[in-house]
Amino acid sequence: MKVAGIQWNVRLGDCEYNYAMAEKYIIKAAKQGNEVLVLPELWNTGFFPKNIYDIADEKGNYTQAFLQRLATTLGVHIIGGSVAVREQKRLYNRLYTVTRTGEIVCTYDKVHLFTRGHEDEYFSAGFRCGRWRLDGISMGAILCYDLRFGGWIQKVMNEPCDVLFVSAAWPTKRGMHWDLLNRARAIEHQCYVAAVNTCGSILYGHSQVIDPWGNILVQAGIEDEIIEGVIKPETVVEIRNKIPVQADIRKDLY
């Protein structure tokens, strides 16, 4: 399965520009023969303007229709990163996964809100895992700060996924953590990690695809870029058979 990570400099508060750029890069990535396209975190508004409540997508209706139109027209699956959604007077940092037939197979609200960045003062936290299957491949998703919480990722992976998608707006000053945590999650869960970040003056970029052995297969720089990687489920099976970590977990203790 060919996967493309779409990294770009999301403009803070400029939804019209951001949707236009998302469409441009989705079309480009699809024409390059990729089957699954992955977007970064809060790509509709940026992370995040003070007027985010006013410009958030009401009930996610616009974003859902936008992703469904592109997915069905181009014949691709889209892991929709996340967008700011306004619903019942609350804001959610929400991911949609849309299949090539237009079906929304996952809606995931970010669970861990970044209190240091006051995200919790604007958004409401989710409480469910993001998991689904596409073309026979099991998949899971987390958003940015979730990456730091190994216990949560273990819960997501309780039904082992072949690939974990990470969409983020990760800052440059903590770039080392981004690189190490993504590789650590791939190694400890013996799965592919496809991590897609935004870029810009304070954001790190460096979107990457990592194999279940922890090897970085492809990595972006700090500019707008589409990265491409190949997910091979047979590699996941091979590595899990070689070192059966999941089978050896002491579930009687933790």
Which residues are registered as beta bridge partners of 45? none
| CA distance readout (Å), 141 to 12, 106, 110, 119, 253 | 24, 9, 10, 19, 26
Would you call 28 a catalytic residue per the annotation?
A: no
Catalytic residue among 15, 106, 129, 144: 144
Q: pLDDT by residue for the chain (254 residues), tens digit each?
A: 999 999 999 999 999 999 999 999 999 999 999 999 999 999 999 999 999 999 999 999 999 999 999 999 999 999 999 999 999 999 999 999 999 999 999 999 999 999 999 999 999 999 999 999 999 999 999 999 999 999 999 999 999 999 999 999 999 999 999 999 999 999 999 999 999 999 999 999 999 999 999 999 999 999 999 999 999 999 999 999 999 998 999 989 98
Catalytic residue among 35, 110, 119, 199: 110
What 115-123 contacts at long range (C-beta under 8 Å, 24+ apart), as own/partner pairs, is 117/47, 119/48, 119/93, 119/145, 122/48, 122/52, 122/53, 122/91, 123/84, 123/90, 123/91, 123/92, 123/93
The CATH architecture to which 2-248 belongs is: 4-Layer Sandwich (3.60)
Would you call 144 a catalytic residue per the annotation?
A: yes
Which secondary structure element, helix H or strand E, spans residue 31, and what is its range?
helix 15-31
Catalytic residue among 15, 35, 41, 225: 41
Residues 192/5, Cβ–Cβ less than 8 Å: no
- What's this model's pTM, rounded to 2 decimal places? 0.98
Would you call 110 a catalytic residue per the annotation?
A: yes
Residues 112/126, Cβ–Cβ less than 8 Å: no
